[in-house]
Structures are given as C-alpha cells and as structure tokens.
Amino acid sequence: MFDHVDRFSSLGGKLVIKLGAVAVIIMMVAILVQVIASRVGVTTILDINGAWPVFGPAVTLNSLTDLQWYLLAAVALLPAGVVWLRGVHVRVDFAYSAMRPRGKAAVDLAGHAIFALPFLVLMIPDAWELAARAFARGEASPNGGLTDRFLPRGVIPIGFGLLLAAILFETWLILRNWKRTDD
C-alpha cells in the first residue's frame, strides 16, 4: 500500500511540475506575441469566432494578458502539494537542525495539527464556494479577455486541496515510522 501511494505521488508530482514547466514556456511565448502585437498596433490578433474554449470570440491583447495570469495562478498554486513533499519550503532551522529525528518528527506533527490543518480546513471550502459561484455566474473578462474566471479561482481550492493531501500523507508517514524513528 505504502509503495503504491509513494510511487503514485512521485509520478503525479513529476507530471504536475512538467505541466507547470510547459505553462511557464507558454507564458513566455504569450508575452512575446503580446509585445510584438502591441508594438505594431494590433489589438485583435486572431478571429477564432469562439472556436477555442476560454478564449471567447477572438484572441486579443487582453486575452494574452489574461492568459499570462491564468497560467501564473496555475503555476503558483497547483504544485503546492508536490513542492511541500520535496521539502524545499523555508524553515528557520537552527533549533530544528539540532534536534534528533524524533524531535523533528514531533515538530512536524505538531505544526501540521496546530497550523496547517486549521488553515487548510478553514479556507478550502470557502475557496471552493467562491470558485463555484464564479462558475454559476459565468464570470468572464469585461473587456475582451478570457472567459471562465472560475478556472483561476478554482486553482485556490484545488492547489490547497493537494497541499492538504500532501500534508496528510506526510503525517501518515511520520506516524507509520514513529516506532522506528530514533529518539
């Protein structure tokens, strides 16, 4: 069971990071196209007549601006869980690094229970509700940008949902290995 979860999460993690990397590259291309189009004075770049999802009637300068921050929102929050499990998040570790393995595990468990869980459990349902409301109302750009504002709004509950999953997974690992952890 443990090996399956572990393998699944690391494969999934790699996939999320790779998709994010592609999003970063698209972001760069969108900026390039936008810079060129705005300098030559084109505002409607491609008339697609609603053929593409999210883009609405046409690809405009505003839709490229929107595209960049839609992608930013996704890159910023969807990998939150993966990044958490990779252990790169900053901690002030001058006390922590001096602790024995079991002390470190205790700090992490206490931190999960006192800080991370209340925060995530409190915010995720609200974030989900805001995204659902944007979906129901068909929230979109008021000035010819992208439609479907529920997508960047939905990034908050999904990204933090994945972070919650990562933290629960880590909690389970710590508890599972507790007996084998040295004092």
Partner 1 sequence: MIEHSVAILMAVVTLTGILMGYRVAMVLGGAAALFILFTDTPVSFFKLLLSRIYSNVLSNWLLVAIPMFIFMGHILEKSGVAETSLKAAQRALGGTPAGMCVSVMLIGVLLAASSGIVGASVVLLALLALPRLTEVGISNSVSAGLITSSGTLAILVPPSIMLIVLGDQLKVPVGDMFAGAILPGLLLVGLITIYMLVRTRGLTGTATIERAPLSQTLWRLGPLILLIICVLGSIIGGLATPTEAAGVGAFGALVIALLYGKFNGTLVMEAAEDTVIATSMIFVVLVGATCFSAVFRKVGGEDAILDLIGLFGTEAWTVIFVVMGMIFLLGFVLDWLEITLILMPIFGPLVATLDFGNGLSGNDLMLWFGILVALNLQTSFLTPPFGFSLFYLKGAVGDKLQTTEIYRGVVPFILLQLLALGILLLMPGLATGLRP
CB 37 within 8 A of CB 45: yes
Q: Does 61 bind partner 1 (CB under 8 A)?
A: no
Identify the residue among 8, 122, 138, 177 touching partner 1 (CB under 8 A): 122
As measured in angstroms, the least distance from the Cβ of 73 to partner 1 is 4
Q: Does 111 bind partner 1 (CB under 8 A)?
A: yes
As measured in angstroms, the least distance from the Cβ of 147 to partner 1 is 14
| Contact window for partner 1 (CB under 8 A) among 3-11, 44-52, 101-109, 174-182 | 101-109
Q: Does 140 bind partner 1 (CB under 8 A)?
A: no
Indicate the residue type of 120: L
List the one residue out of 156, 5, 17, 19 whose CA is nearest residue 84: 17
As measured in angstroms, the least distance from the Cβ of 51 to partner 1 is 25
Distance CA 100, CA 182 (A): 7
Give the per-residue contact string, 18-47, with partner 1 (x = CB under 8 A; - = no): x-xxxxxx-xx-xxx-xx------------
List the Cα angle 159/163/166 in 5-degree steps.
140
As measured in angstroms, the least distance from the Cβ of 23 to partner 1 is 8
Q: Does 151 bind partner 1 (CB under 8 A)?
A: no
Identify the residue among 37, 85, 105, 163 touching partner 1 (CB under 8 A): 163
As measured in angstroms, the least distance from the Cβ of 103 to partner 1 is 9
Binding site for partner 1 (CB under 8 A): 17-18, 20-25, 27-28, 30-32, 34-35, 65, 68-69, 72-73, 75-80, 82-84, 86, 88-97, 99, 104, 107-108, 110-111, 114-120, 122-123, 126-127, 129-130, 152-153, 155-156, 163
